[in-house]
Structure formats: structure tokens, C-alpha cells
């Protein structure tokens, strides 16, 4: 079981523009989702002219479901300057993989609770670590995908883009760098070291 908790409203509003698309996942009933808070915020963003499209869907953690659910909105999504995703960390990463040429912003943090974790087979992982870094790392999670869970950059042990712990594993920080470079967001790599809010 997990909780998706809305990030700071001012931070979310700062990411929205007239060509922003929102994808709001309302599928898993195993996940506490702040539906009324999200809907209220979406209404305010729409009223201020800061959204191009809102896609309300479910199970975006499944790449197949995400493809089907977003098919009729592809024109707006592909033209978007950014996508704000309201879901758990798995859904945010799924959207990031599908629309890797568009900046993705997390609208929620993911907090763990004991219990079941849903029924969808997943291709991405979320450690439900509290404060979500996906806004800063191009939608690629350094905590779940780094064998050392490093949040402030590469450890220095990687060789030819592979992790020193497992030569089968890509260094996530090299992936993050390449994604941010493609998105022209390398300044995100300069975020200050801070104590994480678990």
C-alpha cells in the first residue's frame, strides 16, 4: 500500500504553462490518491489558462494501458512544453519513458505503507521514498535505479556507462545526464544537496 501526496501547490503552479498537459492517474484503489485536491488544483490551472489538455485515466504504470489511454490525446501531448503527472512514482516514470522528449513534472510524492502494492506487472520501480526527485532528474529515479541510491550524482565507479556493482546495469546518472541534455535541462544537475523529506 502507498500514499500519493500532492507536492507543494506553488511548485506545481510554477511548472504549468499554456501548453502543459496534465495526466492524472486514478486507477489503483490500493493507492491513496488525493483526488479532490488534484481536481481542485487542475480546475484552478484550467481557469488561469495554464493547461492545454487534461487526461484522466488509470493504470498508467502499465505501458500498454498508458499507450491506449493517451492515444486520442497524442497531438496535444506531443505539442506540450511539459507534462505534469499526478500519480505514484511508478506512473510518473512510465510517462517519462513514453514521452522522453518532453519535460515531466511530478505532481505527487509517494509514501509507503505496509500492505499490497497493486496487481500490475511493472517495468519500472519506485522505492516510495517520500520526496520525489523525478522533477530534477528527467523522470528517471536515482534512488530505485542506482545500486547505491545516490541522489547527488554519480559515484565515480562506473565504466563505459555501466554500474560498478553490476556490469549488466546502466549507470542511472549517465542516463539522467543524457535525458537532461536532450531536454536542454542540464541546469537541473545543479540542485543543492539537501536533507530529504522521507
In this prediction, residues 147-152 reach a mean pLDDT of 87
Question: Tell me, what's the pLDDT at 104?
Answer: 93
Question: Tell me, what's the pLDDT at 114?
Answer: 61
Question: Tell me, what's the pLDDT at 126?
Answer: 80
pTM of structure: 0.86
Cα–chain center distance at 15: 13
Flag whether pLDDT at 91 surpasses 70: yes
Distance of alpha carbon 195 from alpha carbon 197, whole angstroms:
7
Question: Tell me, what's the pLDDT at 122?
Answer: 59
In this prediction, residues 123-132 reach a mean pLDDT of 77
Residue 188 contacts by C-beta under 8 Å, 6 or more apart in sequence?
136, 137, 138, 180
What the block records as the C-alpha cell of 52 is 492545454
In this prediction, residues 170-186 reach a mean pLDDT of 93
End-to-end CA distance of the chain: 16
How far CA 60 is from CA of 70, 108, 160, in Å, comes to 9, 14, 32
Flag whether pLDDT at 121 surpasses 60: no
> Which band of pLDDT confidence, cut at 50, 70 and 90, is reported for residue 130?
confident
Whose cell is 520526496? That residue is 131
Domain positions in the chain are 2-135
What the block records as the C-alpha cell of 54 is 487534461
Indicate the CATH number of 2-135 among 1.10.287, 3.40.50, 3.30.1150, 3.30.160: 3.40.50
Amino acid at each position: 500500500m502507498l500514499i500519493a501526496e500532492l507536492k507543494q501547490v506553488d511548485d506545481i503552479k510554477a511548472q504549468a504553462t499554456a501548453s502543459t498537459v496534465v495526466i492524472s492517474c486514478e486507477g489503483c484503489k490500493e493507492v491513496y490518491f488525493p483526488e479532490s485536491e488534484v481536481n481542485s488544483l487542475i480546475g484552478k490551472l484550467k481557469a488561469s489558462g495554464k493547461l492545454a489538455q487534461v487526461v484522466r485515466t488509470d493504470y498508467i504504470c502499465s505501458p500498454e494501458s498508458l499507450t491506449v489511454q493517451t492515444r486520442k490525446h497524442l497531438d496535444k501531448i506531443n505539442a506540450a512544453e511539459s507534462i505534469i503527472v499526478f500519480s505514484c512514482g511508478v506512473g510518473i516514470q512510465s510517462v517519462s519513458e513514453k514521452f522522453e522528449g518532453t519535460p515531466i513534472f511530478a505532481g505527487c510524492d509517494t509514501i509507503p505503507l505496509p500492505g499490497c502494492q497493486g496487481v500490475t506487472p511493472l517495468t519500472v520501480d519506485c522505492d516510495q521514498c517520500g520526496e520525489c526527485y523525478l522533477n530534477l532528474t528527467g523522470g528517471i529515479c536515482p534512488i530505485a535505479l542506482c545500486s547505491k541510491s545516490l541522489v547527488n550524482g554519480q559515484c565515480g565507479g562506473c565504466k563505459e556507462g555501466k554500474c560498478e556493482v553490476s556490469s549488466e546495469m546502466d549507470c542511472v546518472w549517465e542516463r539522467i545526464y543524457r535525458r537532461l541534455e536532450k531536454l536542454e535541462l542540464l541546469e537541473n544537475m545543479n540542485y543543492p544537496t539537501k536533507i530529504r523529506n522521507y
